[in-house]
């Protein structure tokens, strides 16, 4: 089976069985999504969603967050992984949003990556969800699922991103990002993947290799 066949089959299956997919993070504005995505690094969406309501209640916009001190914000962030650095990043991010972008979340990847706490993955998430840019954000779930399915053999997130963007049509990239995340979060888990519940096994490189070994 060629990689092109895998992409075609997998995209077709998701399009039929999961036509609508989106982020599980709760937010109301682009700024709130940016805060939530920064907090979600190496942390579950569930934990972030438990934490952000109080953050958004006290710091609903860049202006209030930029004016906050570390001591004021930290108690609302402390249940999240790496709370010290994330608290500093959030305040600095809000300040830079005001100073450089008039308090608006920018749409460009490079502009987003200029914000404290924002790497390529976070920038791609924001660009995809908020601005419908045809980019793929590669987190640990997307990285793992892409390798297991045989969609990429890239050794870095950037390499996997290039492979996925080469194989997925532009109009499918925004939703495909969520397809792969949800697949990795609930089916193709890091430990004990639920292959018996997976609709993608006929295109899965790892499953095919396992079958050949067992024959």
Q: What per-residue confidence (pLDDT) applies to 215?
A: 44
Q: Which two tokens stand for residue 156?
A: 């870095």
pLDDT in tens, 26-40: 999 999 999 999 999
Per-chain mean pLDDT for the chain: 93
**Residue among 53, 115, 99 at smallest CA distance from 107:** 115
pLDDT exceeds 70 at position 129: yes
**Mean pLDDT (whole number) for 144-148:** 95
**Mean pLDDT (whole number) for 157-178:** 94
Q: Which of 61, 139, 163, 212 is catalytic?
A: 139
For residue 47, count other CB atoms closer than 10 A to its CB: 14
* 121 labelled catalytic: yes
Give every CB contact of residue 67 below 8 A, 6+ residues apart in sequence.
none
**Mean pLDDT (whole number) for 154-158:** 93
**Mean pLDDT (whole number) for 187-194:** 93
Residue 114 pLDDT grade (very low, low, confident, very high; cuts 50, 70, 90): very high
Q: How far apart are CA 173 and CA 168, in angstroms?
A: 6
Q: How far is CA 79 from the centre of its chain?
A: 20
Q: What per-residue confidence (pLDDT) applies to 42?
A: 87
Helix (H) or strand (E) holding 19: none
Q: Which of 86, 110, 121, 171 is catalytic?
A: 121
Q: What is the pTM of this model?
A: 0.87
Q: How far apart are CA 84 and CA 41, in angstroms?
A: 13
Q: Which two tokens stand for residue 99?
A: 């100073």
Q: What angle do CA 165, 166, 170 make, to 5 degrees?
A: 55
Residue 102, judged by CB atoms within 10 A of its CB (0-12, 13-18, 19+), counts as exposed
Q: What per-residue confidence (pLDDT) applies to 2?
A: 87
Q: What per-residue confidence (pLDDT) applies to 214?
A: 47
* 139 labelled catalytic: yes
Residue % of the chain over a pLDDT of 70: 96
């Amino acid at each position: 089976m060629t990689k092109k066949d895998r992409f075609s089959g997998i995209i077709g299956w998701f399009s039929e069985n999961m036509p609508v997919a989106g982020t599980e993070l709760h937010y109301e504005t682009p700024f709130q999504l940016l805060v939530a995505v920064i907090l979600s690094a190496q942390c579950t969406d569930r934990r972030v969603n438990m934490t952000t309501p109080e953050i958004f209640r006290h710091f609903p916009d860049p202006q209030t967050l930029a004016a906050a001190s570390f001591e004021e914000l930290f108690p609302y962030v402390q249940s999240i992984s790496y709370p010290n650095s994330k608290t500093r990043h959030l305040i600095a991010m809000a300040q830079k949003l005001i100073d450089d972008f008039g308090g608006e979340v920018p749409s460009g990847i490079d502009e987003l990556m200029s914000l404290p706490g924002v790497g390529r993955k976070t920038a791609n998430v924001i660009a995809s969800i908020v601005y419908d840019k045809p980019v793929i954000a590669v987190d640990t779930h997307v990285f793992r699922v892409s390798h297991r399915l045989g969609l990429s053999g890239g050794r870095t997130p950037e390499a996997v991103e290039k492979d996925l963007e080469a194989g997925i049509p532009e109009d499918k990239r925004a939703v495909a990002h969520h397809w792969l995340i949800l697949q990795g979060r609930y089916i193709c888990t890091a430990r004990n993947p639920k292959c018996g519940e997976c609709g993608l096994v006929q295109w899965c490189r790892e499953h095919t290799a396992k079958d050949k070994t067992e024959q």
